[in-house]
Amino acid sequence: MRHCLIGPAVLTLFIGNSALGQDVDNGRQIAERSCATCHRIDMSAGKASRAITFTAIAAKPGMSDDILSSFLLMPHVTMPGLPMNQNDARDVAAFVMSLKK
């Protein structure tokens, strides 16, 4: 019985976030294409942002991948690149949360 539980656990470790649809690199590419006009997505860039930085979003108390991806799925007048599909929202959220220090 013990071996039946170990197999799925090990498989989960190897599959990681891709099983959940979270691809940080794809999230970064989407953010660079759709969000960087207003948001500063990379703190090493010298460009000032008109909106909150991704690092500041990630640092907000209680912020999580799930909360952020749900937010990205809702239409927003001030964010013209939205709404996005569920996989893209998860990827962008994973990228943003990867910036948390």
* 62 dihedral zone (left: phi>0; alpha: psi -120 to 50; beta): left
Domain that holds residue 13: 2-98
Name the domain count of the chain.
Answer: 1
Chain-wide mean pLDDT for the chain? 78
What's the CATH number where 67 sits? 1.10.760.10
Alpha carbon distance 29, 37 (integer Å): 13
Helices (H), 1-101: 2-15, 24-34, 54-59, 65-72, 86-98
* Single pTM value for the model: 0.73
pLDDT band of 11, cuts 50, 70, 90: very low
Q: Which amino acid is at 72?
A: L
Instruction: Render pLDDT for 28-59 as a digit per residue (tens, 0 to 9).
Output: 999 999 888 888 887 665 566 678 899 999 99
